[in-house]
Amino acid sequence: MTEEEKRRELARRKRIRREKRRKKLIWKRRILIGCMVLILVLIVGLISSIRSCHQKAVETDAKIQAEKEAKEKKKREEAEKKEKEEHTLHMVAVGDNFFHDTVLADGQQESGVWSYDYIYENVKEEIEGADLAVVNQETPIVSSHDNTSGYPTFGMPQEGGQALANLGFDVITMATNHSYDKGKEGVTDSLAFWESQETPPAVLGIHESAEDQQADRVKIIEKKAFKIAMMNYTTLINIGAPVPENESYAVDVYDEETVKADVERAKEEADIVMVFLHTGVEYQNEPDEATKERVEYLADLGVDVVIGTHPHVIRPYGMMERPDGKQMLVYYSLGNFVSGQQGISQLLEGMADMTFVKDPDTGEISIETYSMEPLVMHYEPGYSGYAVYPLEKYTEELAAASGVHQETNEDFSPESIQAYFEPYLKPQVFERSE
């Protein structure tokens, strides 16, 4: 090999070595770049993962916080709802409950069992749904079937009283012109019957002794956040069943000085002062002057609600201004509730419906709503099938089948019934006499 060939071979080998070194360097750079890219991807992935975890943590925390806030909100709303319910009182009251001979007979079955629950089934929901329900039990409840009687000297069997108890009445007013139809025994038997109930109702207007009268003439009913003072007076006792002077404590008879003292006591002990007044001229829809005077006197004393019984027909209701600038709610008469009377006006009745609201901060009481719901006392031909209905449930078929058609040629239909009620279902503003 010549010197020239050696030199060329040496130069070729150098080129090959340089090329190998260049390729090796390129691969190293590629590997380095790849590693850097991989590291960068890993870093980006890690950052993304951290961010994702952080976001999930934030979202989880937010969800937990939202759930916590939702629970707290629900708890607050439930507490507010409970407080509102506790400071809202729904009350209903109905008129005269008394059994004439036909009603007494209707509840006596061939088996010998006496039962009257069926009469009240159609109003059971309204009575049970109220926080407080009041009925005027017109007559004494007697302990023996042998002592039951209808007009004119009444004695209702215990089964009739049990039907009222089963209905869920909380308050029974019993100061009426018939309170002494069965003498002192009738008063004692009535009180004993109500006391025998699993949950005895508050009984107003009659007493077993002078001590009882002094203690219970003003009855304080505690319900929810309310204290309601209730009193019951009658302005008349039947001539045929007078109360002996030495037993005058047995029935709460209206007397202005007594009423004044009772109201003053009631205002000190209760949030609401309510008087049930058995008074007025029978079968007159418009209030008589004597009743107006008594109601105005009660307004002067600062009574909050007056509910009248005795006329056996409905009368207007509404607000009367008191001397202190506040309003007194007056129902002049609710008519009958259950009876054996047969005239149309005695069959169309009212249920007082009112809602009281108490401000939890100030204790101030307001009457949020008040109305008179129309009721119809139904009986079938032959003076049987007695039942009381809300007007909305009293169908054209029931009206057509009523036994009232035996008594009169007057129209008795849903239309005529509605027309009768119309003037009395809207509340009035009662002007004071001069």
The domain segmentation of the chain, as residue ranges, is 1-86, 88-430
The answer to whether residue 24 scores a pLDDT higher than 90 is: no
C-alpha distance from residue 359 to each of 77, 226, 289, 362 (Å): 17, 11, 37, 6
Q: Is residue 362 over pLDDT 80? A: yes
Task: From residue 47, give the alpha-carbon distance in Å to each of 33, 38, 56.
Answer: 20, 14, 14
Q: What is the dihedral of CA 315, 317, 322, 328, to 10 degrees?
A: 120
Give Cα separations from 407 to 32, 106, 383, 389, 411 (angstroms). Answer: 116, 18, 11, 20, 11
Give counts: helices (H), strands (E), the chain: 11, 17
The answer to whether the predicted template modeling score (pTM) of the entire model surpasses 0.75 is yes
Please determine, for residue 25, whether its predicted confidence score (pLDDT) is greater than 80. Answer: no
Query: Is it the case that residue 83 has pLDDT exceeding 90?
Result: no
Residue 321's identity, in one-letter code, is: E
* Whether pLDDT at 40 is above 80: no
Tell me which H or E stretch contains 301: helix 289-301
- Residue 376: strand, helix, or coil: strand
Mean pLDDT to the nearest integer, 367-377: 97
The predicted model gives 167-195 an average pLDDT of 97
pLDDT at 332 over 90: yes
User: Is 80 exceeded by the pLDDT of residue 91?
Assistant: yes
Can you give the pLDDT at residue 79?
A: 65
pLDDT digits (tens, 9 = 90+) for 210-269: 999 999 999 999 999 999 999 999 999 998 889 999 999 999 999 999 999 999 999 999
Residues 6+ apart with CB under 8 A from 104: 148, 149, 150, 156, 157
Q: What is the mean pLDDT of residues 41-51?
A: 70
CB under 8 Å to 291, separation ≥6 — which residues? 277, 279, 280, 281, 308, 332
Segment 295-306 shows an average pLDDT of: 98
Instruction: For residues 362 and 356, give the distance between their C-alpha atoms in angstroms, rounded to a whole number.
Output: 15
pLDDT of residue 434: 67
Pairing of strands 219-223, 202-204: unpaired
Given a contact cutoff of 8 angstroms between Cβ atoms, the answer to whether 350 and 95 are in contact is yes
Q: What is the pLDDT of residue 250?
A: 97
Q: Which of 68-77, 182-191, 291-300 has the lowest mean pLDDT?
A: 68-77
Residue 175 has pLDDT above 90, yes or no: yes
Mean local confidence (pLDDT), 66-73: 77
Domain spanning 88-430: CATH 3.60.21.10? yes
Give the closest residue to 330 by CA, choosing from 267, 271, 275: 275
- For 415, the token pair is 């239309």
CB 309 within 8 A of CB 335: no
Phi, psi for 337 (deg, rounded to 5)? -115, -65
Q: Is the pLDDT of residue 49 over 90?
A: no
Q: In this predicted structure, what is the pLDDT of residue 22?
A: 74
Query: What type of residue is 348?
Result: L
